């Protein structure tokens, strides 16, 4: 009989592994970066020092008794994992709780002057205002002369590659959009386009990932889909509060819209169309507490499931959302993407640059070629990406149950 046991959940306790390096090296570096980004007072500095010590040498601490989301995190597993090493609990959970603990340390949810201050905002704005962003937006001017299908594919690739969005705009002389995205290990873009015909009636849900130079191309893609009638309405899901350093919040959406509307040429025109779409209801921004949760989408609450069931297609952006979509497990790369996402309440597409070990949906030849060329580094280096689609998950049949 075939082995039907689920793949092992990824932990961070293997020295030398990518998850271990995130917990042991990246998280302490993020704490130091936050300390330098904003002038926190002595109490906040001490809280950040305590978190730094906890991450390196200690155990997971519970939230304060008056934390507004204490019950929510208890339901998400804090009662089970408190007191354990950060390295010995599921990596997805450990990573997520680190950011909640960081917000506690800087007083984001408190009653003091730091309340509501995004500790990552200086970094986000610096990226959004960087000269490279101007160059990427200027490339939109040349894109306007291309046929609609080439523009659509270029903007899709721009959204896919995020901070390497310029790759999506640099079309070859012959109009070969595939050349704009080297390193694509899976490409279901034709299926995705088939789910978004130019009928003007569909609803696109886009679960965003990062702010700044990734959110901008996400918005450009949405603007194009609305303008071409491939979506009559778009719903942009972002985080309700700061999360993984660059994750997008409603404030970041406003910053991106202002950046676009203030740009010259085609970029400004896109921005004005998005602004108009927001004011007339064709583009809405949504937040849900589950977006900042440590659980896979298979465990999404009923209200979110109902909302996503109503979408013509849900596009799930980025590496973290991919891990939550397919499960943060040591999956064989040839595991079926359709099988892993069969629970989803409607058609779902993943657009993701590979920056962590989780991967599925590859054919055996592609996996073998990647391993032969790069060992296992192809999984985490950000030089490869994928577009995967499940056009008819089984979950859609019982979404109303």
Q: Model confidence over 108-156: pLDDT tens digits?
A: 999 999 999 999 999 999 989 999 889 889 989 999 888 888 999 999 9
Instruction: Give me the percent of the chain exceeding a pLDDT of 70.
Output: 92
Other Cβ atoms within 10 Å of 399 Cβ, number? 16
For the chain, domain boundaries? 18-119, 126-398
Other Cβ atoms within 10 Å of 302 Cβ, number? 9
Matching CATH number, 126-398, of 2.40.128.110, 2.120.10.30, 3.40.50.300, 3.40.50.10880:
3.40.50.10880
Q: What is the pLDDT of residue 252?
A: 97
pLDDT at 173 over 60: no
Higher pLDDT, 172 or 373: 373
- pLDDT average, residue stretch 309-330: 97
Percent helix, percent strand, percent coil in the chain, to nearest 5: 50, 10, 40
Beta bridge partners of 118: none
Q: What is the pLDDT of residue 224?
A: 96
DSSP summary character for residue 7 = P
pLDDT at 56 over 90: no
* Rounded CA separation 253/255 (Å): 5
Q: Are 340 and 360 in contact (CB under 8 A)?
A: yes
What is the pTM assigned to this prediction? 0.93
φ, ψ (nearest 5 deg) of residue 314: -110, 125
What CATH number was assigned to the domain covering residues 18-119? 1.20.930
132-141, 264-273, 284-293: the lowest-pLDDT one: 132-141
The closest alpha carbon to 309, from 399, 397, 389, 394, belongs to 399
3-state DSSP call for residue 75?
helix
The closest alpha carbon to 143, from 271, 267, 272, belongs to 267
What is the SS3 assignment for 195-248? CCCCCCCCEEEEECCECCCCHHHHHHHHHHHHHCCCCCEEEEEECCCCCCCCEC
Q: What is the pLDDT of residue 178?
A: 39
3-state DSSP call for residue 350?
strand
170-179, 370-379, 380-389: the lowest-pLDDT one: 170-179
Q: Model confidence over 183-219: pLDDT tens digits?
A: 899 999 999 999 999 998 999 999 999 999 899 999 9
């Amino acid at each position: 009989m075939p082995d039907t046991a689920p793949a092992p959940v990824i932990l961070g306790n293997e020295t030398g592994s990518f998850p271990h390096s995130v917990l042991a090296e990246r998280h302490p570096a993020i704490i130091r970066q936050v300390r330098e980004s904003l002038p926190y007072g002595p109490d906040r500095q001490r809280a950040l020092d305590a978190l730094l010590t906890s991450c390196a040498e200690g155990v997971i601490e519970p939230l304060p008794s008056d934390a507004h989301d204490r019950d929510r995190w208890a339901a998400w597993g804090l009662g089970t994992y408190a007191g354990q090493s950060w390295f010995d609990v599921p990596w997805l959970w450990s990573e997520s709780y680190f950011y909640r603990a960081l917000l506690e340390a800087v007083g984001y949810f408190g009653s003091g002057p730091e309340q509501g201050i995004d500790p990552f905002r200086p970094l986000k704005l610096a990226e959004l205002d960087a000269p490279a962003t101007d160059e990427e937006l200027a490339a939109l001017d040349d894109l306007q002369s291309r046929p609609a299908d080439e523009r659509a594919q270029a903007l899709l690739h721009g959204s896919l590659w995020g901070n390497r969005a310029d790759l999506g705009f640099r079309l070859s002389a012959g109009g070969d959009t595939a050349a704009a995205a080297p390193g694509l290990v899976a490409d279901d873009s034709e299926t995705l386009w088939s789910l978004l015909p130019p009928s003007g009636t569909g609803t696109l849900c886009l679960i965003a990932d990062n702010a700044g130079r990734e959110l901008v191309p996400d918005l450009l893609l949405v603007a194009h889909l609305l303008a071409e009638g491939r979506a009559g309405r778009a719903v942009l899901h972002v985080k309700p509060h700061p999360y993984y350093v660059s994750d997008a919040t409603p404030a970041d959406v406003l910053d991106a819209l202002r950046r676009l509307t203030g740009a010259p040429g085609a970029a400004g025109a896109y921005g004005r169309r998005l602004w108009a779409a927001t004011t007339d209801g064709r583009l809405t921004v949504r937040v849900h507490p589950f977006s900042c949760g440590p659980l896979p989408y298979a465990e999404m609450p009923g209200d979110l499931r109902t909302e996503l069931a109503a979408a013509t297609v849900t596009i799930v952006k980025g590496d973290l959302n991919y891990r939550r979509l397919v499960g943060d497990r040591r999956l064989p790369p040839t595991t079926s993407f359709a099988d892993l996402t069969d629970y989803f309440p409607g058609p779902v597409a993943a657009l993701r640059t590979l920056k962590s070990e989780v991967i599925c949906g590859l054919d055996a030849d592609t996996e073998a070629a990647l391993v032969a060329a790069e060992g296992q580094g192809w999984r985490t280096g950000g030089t490869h990406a994928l577009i995967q689609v499940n056009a008819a998950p089984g979950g859609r049949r019982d979404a109303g149950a």
